[in-house]
Amino acid sequence: MKRGEIVYVNLPLVPGSHSQGGRRPSILVISDSALPKNPMVMMVPLTSNATALRFPFTFQIDPSDQNGLSNLSVALVFQLCAVDRTHLGKVIGVLEDRHLLKIDEMIRQLLSV
């Protein structure tokens, strides 16, 4: 497991919530140096619902052989969250560097750092 990988994650379903839930692809954004000893990972969930692009801190990712996505996806950077490793499933691909750089910039803006 490493930063930038796209993995399936089983997120809890919270009725009435706007947060993502269920099994979905997500991007690991925790630093590689923090991964080995951490029971949690930081991730950005993805959705195939293109209307989510109306929200700030989102952007479109097109499917590619490298990222392993089968549909147009929207990175929901504003839903950055920590997830227990036990919720992680199969790695399906690796996010392109240009998109990972975009996520890094959005996280900095989102957190004002």
Concatenated DSSP letters of the chain: --TTEEEEEEEPP-TT--S--EEEEEEE-S-TTTSTT-SEEEEEEEES-GGGGGSSSEEEE---TTT--SS-EEEEGGG-EEEEGGGEEEEEEE--HHHHHHHHHHHHHHHT-
36: number of Cβ within 10 Å:
7
Give the pLDDT score at 113.
75
- 16-48 pLDDT, tens digit per residue, is 655 666 788 999 999 888 888 889 999 999 999
Full residue range of the structural domain in which residue 53 is found: 5-111
Per the DSSP assignment, residues forming a β-bridge with 18 are: none
Span 40-83, pLDDT tens digits: 999 999 999 999 999 999 999 999 999 999 999 999 999 999 99
* Total structural domains within the chain: 1
pTM, full prediction: 0.89
Q: What is the CATH number of the domain that holds 93?
A: 2.30.30.110
